[in-house]
């Protein structure tokens, strides 16, 4: 969420940013919120003036009564009563207008970074760099569920009977591989200086609206009926929420956390052949990383975060590439985002396995996460997040890139301690 003062002073810049994100329907919101803000400030000024006048008049009444000037005191009392009626009216309008301003401000997108390419949707994202040589073997790579089924490692039919489409049972060596990847990712991030955390898997609505836009919330979140609780779609939500209404001492920054959690998503509109199996599902597990830092450090941390994911995938012999997300593909709170995509030998193309985002002070402003400087001044923090790994989608890339012609799957050296020391799944 932007600062209303910034919108007031830079309306043309805010409007151009909206155009760059191809959200022209939101252009009227800028003038509307500026007008409402002007009314809100005028009402506050009038209310403050009436409160000050009330104090002055009350003192005059006391002085007049002491002098026996009862008639003059009564005249001033009548004026105080009239002011009180107006003040009551203004006191009701103040929060109403403030709420309207906040509601609109939460719909106006964040200002994107100058590095972000202008484009309408994800088809216009820009490749940045490739890591590792993508290989297409001289034997056919089966669909990922077929690979899993040969190991008796997945049961989609039973899951469909129990929970419906979009769920799965992982079993045997495939389930073990799933857990091994999560454990390896946890230790990988701990070794890079991040503090491990297991967060709440449900969050309240004020945290949900603090970390994401209304559109994202509607498309992703499952609400617990009858309670002010939502199942998390990613542990970033509760991890950033950990700092809600906090004032963080500048000397303790950056706060770097890596978290494990199950994730739950509606996945509205999922369709197509690549939506079969475990590619796009309602429930999965994930290792995440988040950073809370000073504004001047967020660009440096952005590059560190996506590099962590690239490095992890390369230790598992999976070629990856990075894509700079274009303006139209950025969620409203994001300043900048880079997707990490893994190579699929079967599809002969890359597919998304993680996303790294810098949200500037948007989440901090909504959640009131502030930093206290040495001189006592306070300012909003910057927040960032990135996927470490999100199996079982990550397992698709792992199985395809480590599959042998005889149907066995290689276990890279880095993962063997988490798989009981074996070098292959047979």
Cβ–Cβ under 8 Å, residues 350 and 344: yes
> Which residues, in sequence order, are CB contacts of 180 under 8 Å at separation 6+?
415, 418, 419
Q: Is residue 114 part of a domain?
A: no
354's enclosing H/E stretch is strand 349-358
Q: Is residue 111 part of a domain?
A: no
Same domain assignment for residues 92 and 171: no
Q: How many whole angstroms separate alpha carbon 102 and alpha carbon 98?
A: 6
pLDDT average, residue stretch 160-174: 93
Higher pLDDT, 218 or 198: 198
Q: What are phi and psi for residue 379, nearest 5 degrees?
A: -150, 160
Q: How many domains does the chain contain in total?
A: 2
CATH of the domain at 95: 1.10.287.40
pLDDT of 273 reads 40
Coil, strand or helix at 390: coil
Each residue of 223-233: pLDDT tens digit?
Answer: 999 999 999 99
Same domain assignment for residues 146 and 47: no
How large is the C-alpha radius of gyration of the chain? 28
User: Taking the model in full, what pTM does it have?
Assistant: 0.89
Same domain assignment for residues 287 and 143: yes
Domain that includes residue 377, residue range = 122-425
Q: Is residue 117 part of a domain?
A: no
Report the DSSP beta bridge partners of residue 386: 289, 356
Higher pLDDT, 390 or 76: 390
Each residue of 275-320: pLDDT tens digit?
Answer: 567 878 899 999 999 999 999 999 999 999 999 999 999 999 999 9
Same domain assignment for residues 223 and 365: yes
Each residue of 343-391: pLDDT tens digit?
Answer: 999 999 999 999 999 999 999 999 999 999 999 999 999 999 999 999 8
Cβ–Cβ under 8 Å, residues 133 and 343: no
Q: How many whole angstroms separate alpha carbon 25 and alpha carbon 23?
A: 5
Last residue within a domain, chosen from 105, 135, 170? 105
Last residue within a domain, chosen from 105, 135, 153? 105
Same domain assignment for residues 354 and 416: yes
Same domain assignment for residues 86 and 143: no
Report helix angle 172-190 to 298-315, nearest 10: 140
Same domain assignment for residues 96 and 142: no
pLDDT greater than 70 at residue 338: yes
pLDDT of 55 reads 67
Coil, strand or helix at 45: helix
Last residue within a domain, chosen from 80, 105, 130? 105
Q: What is the mean pLDDT of the chain?
A: 91
Coil, strand or helix at 337: strand
pLDDT average, residue stretch 88-112: 91
Q: Is residue 113 part of a domain?
A: no
Same domain assignment for residues 367 and 219: yes
Same domain assignment for residues 243 and 350: yes
pLDDT greater than 80 at residue 82: no
CATH of the domain at 281: 3.30.930.10
Q: Is residue 110 part of a domain?
A: no
Which residue is it, tokens 């008049």?
Answer: 57
> Which residues, in sequence order, are CB contacts of 256 under 8 Å at separation 6+?
193, 194, 195, 289, 290, 291
Q: What are phi and psi for residue 130, nearest 5 degrees?
A: -110, 145
Higher pLDDT, 57 or 188: 188
Same domain assignment for residues 161 and 217: yes
Nearest one of 368, 323, 402, 311 to 129, comparing CA atoms: 323
Same domain assignment for residues 324 and 415: yes
Same domain assignment for residues 352 and 406: yes
pLDDT of 81 reads 73
Going from the C-alpha of 78 to that of each of 82, 87, 257, the distances in angstroms are: 6, 14, 61
pLDDT of 226 reads 95
């Amino acid at each position: 969420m932007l600062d209303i003062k910034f919108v007031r002073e830079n309306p043309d810049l805010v409007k151009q940013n909206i155009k760059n994100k191809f959200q022209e329907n939101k252009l009227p919101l800028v003038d509307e919120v500026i007008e409402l803000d002007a009314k809100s400030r005028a009402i506050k000024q009038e209310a403050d003036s009436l409160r000050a006048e009330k104090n002055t008049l009350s003192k005059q009444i006391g002085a007049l009564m002491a002098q026996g000037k009862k008639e003059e005191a009564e005249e001033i009392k009548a004026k105080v009563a009239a002011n009180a009626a107006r003040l009551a009216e203004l006191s009701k309008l103040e929060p109403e207008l403030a709420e309207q301003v906040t509601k609109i401000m939460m719909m106006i997108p964040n200002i994107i970074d100058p590095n972000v390419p202008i484009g309408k949707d994800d088809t216009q994202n820009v490749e940045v760099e490739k890591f590792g040589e993508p290989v297409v073997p001289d034997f056919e790579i089966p669909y990922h569920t077929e690979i899993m089924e040969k190991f008796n490692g997945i049961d989609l039919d039973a899951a469909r009977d129990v929970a419906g489409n979009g769920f799965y049972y992982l079993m045997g060596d495939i389930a073990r591989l799933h857990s091994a990847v999560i454990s390896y990712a946890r230790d990988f991030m701990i070794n890079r200086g991040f503090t491990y955390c297991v967060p709440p898997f449900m969050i309240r609505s004020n945290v949900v609206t603090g970390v994401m836009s209304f559109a994202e919330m509607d498309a992703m979140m499952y609400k617990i009926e009858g309670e002010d609780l939502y199942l998390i779609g990613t542990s970033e939500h509760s991890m950033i929420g950990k700092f809600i209404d906090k004032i963080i001492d500048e000397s303790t920054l950056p706060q770097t956390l890596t978290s494990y959690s199950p994730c739950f998503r509606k996945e509205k509109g999922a369709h197509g052949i690549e939506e079969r199996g475990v590619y796009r599902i309602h429930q999965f597990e994930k290792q995440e990383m988040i950073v809370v830092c000073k504004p001047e450090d967020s660009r440096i941390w952005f590059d560190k975060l996506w590099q962590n994911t690239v490095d992890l995938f390369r230790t598992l012999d999976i070629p990856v590439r990075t894509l700079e997300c274009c303006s139209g593909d950025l969620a409203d709170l994001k300043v900048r985002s880079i997707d990490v995509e893994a190579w699929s030998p079967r599809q002969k193309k890359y597919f998304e396995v993680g996303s790294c985002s810098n949200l500037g002070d948007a989440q901090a402003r909504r959640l009131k996460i502030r930093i206290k400087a040495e001189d006592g001044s306070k300012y909003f923090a910057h927040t960032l997040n990135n996927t470490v790994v999100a199996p079982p989608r990550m397992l698709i890339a792992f199985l395809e890139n480590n599959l042998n012609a005889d149907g066995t799957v290689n276990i890279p050296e880095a993962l063997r301690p988490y798989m009981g020391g074996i070098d292959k799944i047979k």
